[in-house]
Structure 1
Amino acid sequence: MPAHRRPRGRRPLRPRLPEEVRRVKTLLDRLAPHDRPAPTAPADHLTLRRGAARVLLGNWTGTSTVPSRTLYPHQWSWDSAFVAIGLRHLSVRRAQQELESLLAGQWADGRLPHIVFNPEVPYGAYFPSPDFWQSSRAGRAAGAPASPETSGIVQPPVHALAAWLVHRADPAESARRGFLERVLPRLTAWHDYLLTRRDLGGGGLAAVVHPWEPGMDNSPAWDRALARVEPDTGTFRRADLDHGDPADRPTDLDYGRYVRLVTTYRAAGYDDRATTHRFALEDPAFNALLITGELALARMAGHLGRDGARHTARAAELTRRLVDRLWDDTAGVFRARDLTDGTLVGRRGVAGLLPLVVPGLPEDVVHALTRTLDGPHFRAPGTGLVPSHDLTGADFDPHRYWRGPAWFNTAWLVERGLRTHGRHARARTLREALVTEAGRTGFAEYVDPLTGEGRGARQFSWTAALALDLLHTDEKEPTR
């Protein structure tokens, strides 16, 4: 079916108002401006909390949260994990539902697809749409569900960490609804998939096979590998340019290569063992989040009275391999490894800082990462956030998606990493910058790191969710 046509009988996306949404509305009423703020909640923070809650309420579809009402009308994998982390402060039940609705799209081989499509959204509202991925048909042998339709690739594994944080927000409610019992086996299967079928380099780390998988789509770190991919031309129409400034978005050449990688993977039935991947890299951020996820699975197992030693051991081994394979001591940053030729990618990006979230990093590595964070490559003069790419790099672009702009989810992860390693003063500075910039820009998707100008979509869900999380979470709260 052509991407611009809408299947009959499908209605445009409309928000629903189930009982859970009414509860959130009640919470908003309780945070009315005339209420006296608590001593630990300044008036401006109270306003920000209300604003963030309204964004999440407005982007709620009845079963999950869209990243943006305009640009991203479906459910995205790592977006929903970050959203659940913020939602736990409004409604634990709704945060659980966010994660479980995503898990409903899990494949039998364990993979958690990067998009779960809403059948009420017209196909032309987003590209690539379900008729492009053809998951229920092309992915049948790999275990794709008959419904819902999904994409065939993945995104960073933030989900186990999110599930553990949601549980901790209200353990009694979690136990009453059997939340951990339901999600633990599914999250374990997800990690098993990454650690077996995606160990494409034989080095024990998970590989990404498409630039959308590490979540940093057009990062300069992928340029060299993508140059080997012959772009598809003329067979698709980009819906993102209907809602986003072309100067902010990946180029048509980027999209042509993204499409070519998917059609090749799709033709092989989304089978990692049957596909000759033209793009395959070990990404440091992706694997760092897998490590934190393994530690979260160990905690879940322990809480349920089960043995979590397997996950603890895997986290320790993954940490060792992460340092051995991806750490560049000379540059003071982690780098992606291109599995086509075995070389480290010669680019500095925020992905190379995100392993700070791993608690078992050697102290000398932590020290070097914090020094790099505050050095000329990442210390932006116009905002306290962290640019997505090296400020001194020839390919730095302050506006174009992941080629320079500062994102709120990566700032949240760096802040958490700083706290993990006891750098509380630096974490506090970053926390304050994140909250301030989120409110000032109307919860923008990302910002120009040099000027602080909001870019991309506004009323963006993970920006609101993660600002809300930092406004509710004590800065000395343990991260383990």
Structure 2
Amino acid sequence: MKNLDNLARAILQGNDKGAYTIPTSGLYPYQWNWDSVLAAWGFATFDIDRAWTELETLFQSQWASGMVPHIIFHEDDPGYFPGPQVWGTGQTPPTSGISQPPVAATIAAKVWGMDPDAGRERIAKLFPKMLAWHRWYHEVRCMHGPATITHPWESGRDNCPDWDIGMAGVDGSKVAPYERRDTGHVDPEMRPKKEEYDKYVAILEFGRDVGWDDRKIMEEGPFLMADPAMTFILLRADKDLLAMAEKLGEDTAEIQGWIDDLTAAVPSLWNDDLGSYDASDIRSGAWANNISSGAFLYTYAGIDNPAMDKRTLDAWDAVTYGIPSADPKAERFDPQRYWRGPSWPFMNGLIAIGLQDAGRDLLAERLRRETAELIRKGGFYEYFDPTNGSPCGGSDFTWTAAVWLAWAGRT
């Protein structure tokens, strides 16, 4: 355990660029939103000042609208596509034009809890920025009730089967010529397919062509889907932001209103035929008809649902290691291709937080134990095959190291 602790710290420090952390060299050479926040969780176990700096750097690139982008291009790296020139957001430093799941308030609350006195001044400065980000989410992305995404990348679960129905209507045939870089770093069989990537670029180009206008993207964009994971992550973050506001003596009425509205929207995510929370295409109203790890975050949001408890265990018991990112019994399940089946240590960690909060300590411990076994056997990889534990994706991965230090490696 001690050797793995040391290796995890070394990975965080090796991916540390001074004030921000990259997920891993080569494959992801910039600062990614939720990767960065999870890095702060890991840093807090041995360098809490560095943890606060990570969060502060992320919010320095917050847009005037309140949105916090999913990529911040601090330095140019021609080895990554799509880079800042492709996004064309006009921000300084350059950023992408979409966001990512807002885990920041939840992790910031955990970091603050590790040293409440020393962290009070820093959390007080971050609070209004987190509040503005949540306000953007509720006013822009929750217009239809649950939280929506306008690009699969915004979900953080890029090629999850949840998005297949929305992607089917995206025309990727007219995108400008491009050269992918991700498949030069890892096995192409573990990455999204070219047809999917063409459509990702087409959605990006629409956003760029309308000047990243939130209203036009929501009303006219080629992709708009309700996302259970985004809804549950935002709802949990709202609750943590509310607790933070109470401790800081801030007004809580607005946040409580968001919590009430989003809680009321949760039943709209329930697919009766599937017997699970499910993504849906906002414009057509069609269900994705897919059970994914995003749906298993309901306890993380404080939602009690016995039927979902059974669904979670059915998917979990069908594999050997951790929570699969897609239903192992479904035809679309692919145990080594990105979000179409693999088990992700950080996602296991978030689900375990929900299980523990719900008083399901034995299940939370089982998930921790299985995740720890993946890392002990395979190393600090991006994700893993849940059927046999094979390591997949990028190596020396920041959020896997962080999750080991903050959760998986702790008994």
Task: Give the TM-score range, shorter chain.
Answer: over 0.9
Of 151, 154, 163, 1:210 maps to 151
- 1:134 is aligned to 88
Whole-Å Cα distance in 2 between the matches of residues 473 and 395 of structure 1? 34
SS class of match (2:42): helix
Partner of 1:142: none
What residue number does 2:357 align with? 420
Question: For the Cα contact (< 8 Å) 1:380–1:386, is it kept in 2?
Answer: no
Separation of aligned partners in 2, 1:421 and 1:319: 17
Which amino acid in 2 is paired with 1:172?
D
Cross-structure match for 1:270 = 212
Aligned to 1:437: 374
Alignment-derived partner of residue 24 in structure 1: none
Q: Please, which moves more after superposition, 92-101 or 330-339? A: 330-339
Q: Distance in 1 between matches of 2:331 and 2:408?
A: 36
Q: How does 1:1-80 map to 2 (within 5 A)?
A: 45-80=1-36
Post-superposition offset of 1:206: 2.3
Counterpart in the other structure of 2:246: 302
1:321 paired residue among 257, 260, 265: 265
2:104 and 2:25 map into 1 onto residues whose CA distance is 23
Matching of residue 371 in structure 1 with residue 371 in structure 2:
no
Secondary structure at 1:439 match in 2: helix
Greater relative CO, 1 or 2 (CA 8 Å, sep 6+): 2
> How far apart, CA to CA, are the structure 2 residues paired with 1:221 and 1:83?
27
**Aligned mate of 2:62, from 106, 115, 123:** 106
Q: Which has the higher helix share?
A: 2
Q: Does 1:159 align with 2:104?
A: yes
- Preserved CA contact (<8 Å) 1:356 1:369: no
Please give the residue correspondences for 1:164-175 in structure 2 after superposition, counting only pairs within 5 Å. 164-175=109-120
Q: For residue 225 of structure 1, what is the aligned residue in structure 2?
A: 166
Tell me if the contact between 1:406 and 1:446 (Cα under 8 Å) persists in the aligned partners. Answer: yes
8 Å Cα contact 1:378/1:389 also seen in 2: no
8 Å contact kept, 1:326–1:344: no
**Alpha-carbon displacement from aligned partner over 1:16-63 (angstroms, at most 9, x marks no partner):** xxxxxxxxxxxxxxxxxxxxxxxxxxxxx2222112111111111111
> 1:319, 1:358 within 8 Å by CA — same for their partners in 2?
no
Q: Which residue of 1 aligns with 2:282?
A: 339
Separation in structure 2 between the aligned mates of residue 387 and residue 256 of structure 1, nearest angstrom: 26
1:248-292 per-position Cα deviation (integer Å, ceiling 9, x unaligned): 000111110000001111111111212312110110110111111
From 285, 288, 291, give the equivalent of 2:232: 288
User: Aligned letter for 2:96?
Assistant: S
Structure 1 residues 196-245: Cα deviation after superposition (integer angstroms, max 9, x where no partner)? 122342x2x22100000111101111111111111145611111111011
1:125 is paired with a residue of what secondary structure? coil
What is the distance in 2 between the residues matched to 1:215 and 1:93? Answer: 27
* CA distance in structure 2 between the aligned counterparts of 1:389 and 1:472, rounded to whole angstroms: 25
Deviates more, 1:330-339 or 1:126-135: 330-339
TM-score of the two chains, using structure 1 as the length reference:
0.82
1:150 paired residue among 95, 104, 107: 95
Report if the CA contact (8 A) 2:40-2:52 is conserved. yes
Partner of 2:72: 116
**Rg larger for:** 1
CA distance in 2 between counterparts of 1:60 and 1:303 reads 31
Partner of 2:400: 463
CA RMSD of aligned residues (A): 1.6
Alpha-carbon distance in 1 for matches of 2:164, 2:408 = 37
Match of 1:261 among 184, 193, 203: 203
Point out the more displaced range, 271-280 or 283-292. Answer: 271-280
How many aligned positions are there? 408
**Aligned partners of 2:8 and 2:401 also within 8 Å:** yes
Residues 150 and 223 in structure 2, CA contact (< 8 A), matched pair in contact too:
yes
Alignment of structure 1 residues 342-353 onto 2, 5 Å: 342-353=285-296
Q: 1:229 corresponds to which letter in structure 2?
A: V
- Deviation (angstroms), 1:129: 0.3
Structure 1 stretches of 5 or more lacking a match?
1-44, 137-144, 475-480
**Aligned partners of 2:201 and 2:360: how far apart in 1?**
42
SS in 2 for 1:254: helix
Q: Is the contact made by 2:369 and 2:408 (CA closer than 8 Å) also made in structure 1?
A: no
Amino acid at match of 1:98: E
One-letter code aligned to 1:191? H
In the TM superposition, what whole-angstrom CA distance separates every residue of 1:158-207 from its partner, at most 9, and x where no partner exists?
011111111111112213xx212211111111011111122342x2x221
Q: CA deviation at 1:395?
A: 1.1
Q: CA shift at 1:473, angstroms?
A: 6.1
CA distance, structure 2, for counterparts of residue 439 and residue 185 of structure 1: 40
